[in-house]
Structure 1
Amino acid sequence: MADTLCDDRPLAFEDLVAWFAEGSKPTSEFKVGAEHEKFVFRDGTHAPVPYDGPDGIKALMEGLMRFGWQGTYEANAAGGETLIGLHRGMANISLEPGGQFELSGAPLATMHDICEETGQHLEEVKTVAADLGLGFLGLGFSPLWRRDEVPVMPKGRYKIMREYMPKVGGLGLDMMFRTCTVQANLDFASEADMIDKFRVSLALQPIATALFANSPFTEGRPNGFLTSRANVWTDTDADRTGLLDFVFEDGFGFERYARYALDVPMYFVKRDGRYIDVAGRSFHDFMAGRLTEVDGERPTLKDWADHTTTIFPEVRLKQYLEMRGADAGSWSRLCALPALWAGILYDPAAQAAAWDLCKHWTAEDRHTLRADVPRQALKATVAGRTVRDVARDMLAIAHQGLKNRNRLSGGMVDETNYLGELEDIAETGVTAAERLLDLYNGPWQGNVGEVFEAFAY
């Protein structure tokens, strides 16, 4: 479907539903997209990095152009253009609100391809960063910086979000400026397939959150959480976050999700490269031509696509499904997350087995689990079982699913090896966050700054 409808008629609700449905594709064309964010810091001082300056975030992006990346620009108030990202083929590097550096990878066929892409990206950014005196850290929450220390990136949508967030939650600004995540995007074949994948991945998302727990510090001290990033999402904006109970109800499908998305308050409308603040306004009113901020214009499908990017549930539907429950971490765990979800969702037997793990959970079970995991991770319980036990079963299912996929590297190795670190975490019951706390209380002698030296990419 084109950005504007061929007969120039206003968008109808059916068009919004059809936009989601257009994501359906044959299983033979399924791909996986991997995304990960990382904190950029100054070598030596561990300070956050501003946008401008000879060794700032802009200079980092410009330096990457030597590797064939091209600039993505946004119109600014001075009448010029601001560099806000990079693109190369189907991959993008985006600028997050506090300067977190994100790779949104190309849709790829195998975990081998994804890990190769991730490795190439990290080598490229490290090469440029070495010239600028910068480093990169993968944690779910900034371990040292106060919120007021984090530079604000010059991107129009972030100014709108920054002003709106305090009106709807207590931790939304922390989400914007002090968190980093790793995500995986997966395809669906049909509406029925989307429903099945959405339900199993949404129910099990807190299990993945526990496995990836890696954010136990705030402003130089333990914060009482194993994944404080996950806790941030419990008080960001209830209108656009959470576990979406309606996904598990009879009658769920593209139409029901479209109604939910339609009811989520807007942030912005983008026109001529600029973001227009309509925060809190209704997409219903936009469709009816009642937004005075855009002189009564009606939306296009591009506006609808933009709006869906401002919704942040634990699993998000666009023209694919996004898994959003994990803290950023080590290079190996950046490869592990897409492997985990591909193993479960791209093998029918594995997906059915994974659903058997959680299909009997009630809405109360799911919400209690989500509330407990930030502090307890693998030690939390759900429906009479520990999260650790569920995680072990989940990983065994994913392992078999990847084995069944039988996608071999050039060395004739399948994709199961990418689950190794997660399998170790589940087997030992010790998360990356707990290992960090052991270091903090032991060899680091209470100095969180050591994390920048020991765990930089």
Structure 2
Amino acid sequence: MSNQVLTTGDDAPIESRDQLVGVFEKGNKPKADWRIGTEHEKFVYRLSGHGAPSYDEPGGIRDLLDGMAAFGWEPVLEGGNVIAMKGSDGAISLEPAGQFELSGAALDTIHETCAESNRHLAQCREVGDRLGLGFLGLGFWPDKTRSELPVMPKGRYVIMRSHMPKVGTLGLDMMLRTCTIQTNLDYASEADMVLKFRVSMALQPLATALFANSPFTEGKPNGFKSFRSHIWTDTDPARTGTLPFVFEDGFGFERYTDYALDVPMYFVYRDGKYIDAAGHSFRDFLAGKLAVLPGETPRVGDWKDHLSTAFPEVRMKGYLEMRGADGGRWDRICALPAFWVGLLYDDVALDAAWQLVKGWTPADHDRLRAEVPRLALQAASPNGGTLQDLAKQVLAIADAGLARRARLNRMGDTEQGFLNPLREIADSGLTNADRMLALYHGAWGGDVSKAYDTESY
């Protein structure tokens, strides 16, 4: 949920539906210009006692943001509060309860995006050591109740916190208690976008399984391997899910535009303030009939803001966002882009992945989405066997795709090595959630606080 920042042309008025579709059409790029954007969130905690720091307390989140200025990051203000930082490595932003997010720059190789993440984590540790703060790489707070968590001073979150309980039972958990890793990738054309969208939507449950890393709630096993993924099934059905229309004939930029128009609004940003439009229609806004801004019509930036408030498993915003993975340790931050780049940025790999999933039915997609949060790699594959079997096939395709990309670092290494953590999981059938559950029932002696020792950056 990175903070939307308006760019050149975003304050232009929307005069036709074509401008809405045009936001997606402008994402078309020649293959030479395809880039990789990697985002990751982590929980911030006090080294003493593991409490979650508030924004204003001494040594809290504001001081953490201020401390990042020593590395060249520049503050972004809202209402006089620093709510983000921007720099050459992208942007640092705050999630609702102080989860710390790096929205990385658009980079050419996974070597570069991994180096970027490592720079950022080193900076976090340096500032955190001074403030007595640590950073935890999990998909869900293992021991915190909602009431134990602070709330960050960002206007859009005030509106979302008010609206979430009206449309689902777990939306506040999504906001306050989850962390994710995401990868943002480009497409060449509408047809290329369609194929990439279909493959990545079909295989998103496999990514969820491989990255499953949220088996605890309030100090106890919760019955899930990716509770973070399960939370999205009861957050807000109008803006989440697997989007069955993606697999239907005629899917393209216009069909996604229609979907996004039907997603209820959250807000409109005007003069530095968020105006509550929760539940209202962007179609009414187009017609000048938005109740909270009567007679006013939207700008291009309003449409881009609105696109950022839809949360399907794969999201389009002029590029494609892969949204299925739990937060995790540093090597997982590099593994996620390796997985998707290997599949989607090589034509042979993309076709091979499509051959694996093109026969799946809507019932197959729905079943995987429902079962994977609990079963992870032990869920049944539509192709026979389990997702562990499918994972081995898909990782082999991704590995070959990365080999053909042949993007080398200074040591002459390809990007294939970034898949190693996933290969280990696929070979063993044990996710990080499985590993932690075994520790909980064994060496940890039922003490979830041990996760702070093993899962911190």
TM over 0.5: yes
1:217 aligned partner: 216
2:411 aligned partner: 411
2:56 counterpart (36, 43, 52): 52
Stretch deviating more after TM superposition (375-384 or 235-244): 375-384
2:4 aligned partner: none
Q: Distance between the aligned counterparts of 1:292 and 1:229, measured in 2? A: 34
2:400 aligned partner: 400
1:78 aligned partner: none
1:11 aligned partner: 15
Q: Distance between the aligned counterparts of 2:455 and 2:240, measured in 1? A: 30
Structure-to-structure mapping, 1:3-402, within 5 angstroms? 3-5=10-12, 10-75=14-79, 81-89=80-88, 91-383=90-382, 384-402=384-402
Aligned partner of 1:426: which letter?
A
Q: Displacement, 1:17? A: 0.6
Query: 2:443 aligned with 1:443, yes or no?
Result: yes
Q: Displacement, 1:15? A: 1.1
Deviations 1:316-353 (A, max 9, x none): 00110000000011100110000100000000000001
Q: Distance between the aligned counterparts of 1:351 and 1:328, measured in 2? A: 25
1:2 aligned partner: 9
Give the unaligned 5+ runs of structure 2.
1-7
Deviations 1:11-40 (A, max 9, x none): 321110111110111100000000000000
SS in 1 for 2:102: strand
Aligned partner of 1:210: which letter?
A
Q: Distance between the aligned counterparts of 1:2 and 1:124, measured in 2? A: 33
Aligned partner of 1:387: which letter?
L
SS in 1 for 2:249: coil
SS in 1 for 2:129: helix
Contact 2:205–2:369 under 8 Å retained in 1: yes
State TM-score, norm by structure 2. Answer: 0.97
Aligned partner of 1:100: which letter?
Q
The sequence identity of aligned pairs, in percent, is: 57
Q: Distance between the aligned counterparts of 1:441 and 1:359, measured in 2? A: 40
Q: Distance between the aligned counterparts of 2:425 and 2:329, measured in 1? A: 13
Contact 2:181–2:323 under 8 Å retained in 1: yes
Q: Distance between the aligned counterparts of 1:55 and 1:89, measured in 2? A: 25
2:5 aligned partner: none
Contact 2:89–2:116 under 8 Å retained in 1: no
Q: Displacement, 1:238? A: 0.5
Deviations 1:113-165 (A, max 9, x none): 01100000000010000010000001011100001111011100000000000
Q: Distance between the aligned counterparts of 1:249 and 1:361, measured in 2? A: 12
Q: Distance between the aligned counterparts of 2:49 and 2:308, measured in 1? A: 35
Q: Displacement, 1:273? A: 1.1
Contact 2:314–2:322 under 8 Å retained in 1: yes
Aligned partner of 1:432: which letter?
N
Pairwise CA RMSD: 1.0
Q: Distance between the aligned counterparts of 1:172 and 1:99, measured in 2? A: 16
Q: Distance between the aligned counterparts of 1:294 and 1:178, measured in 2? A: 33
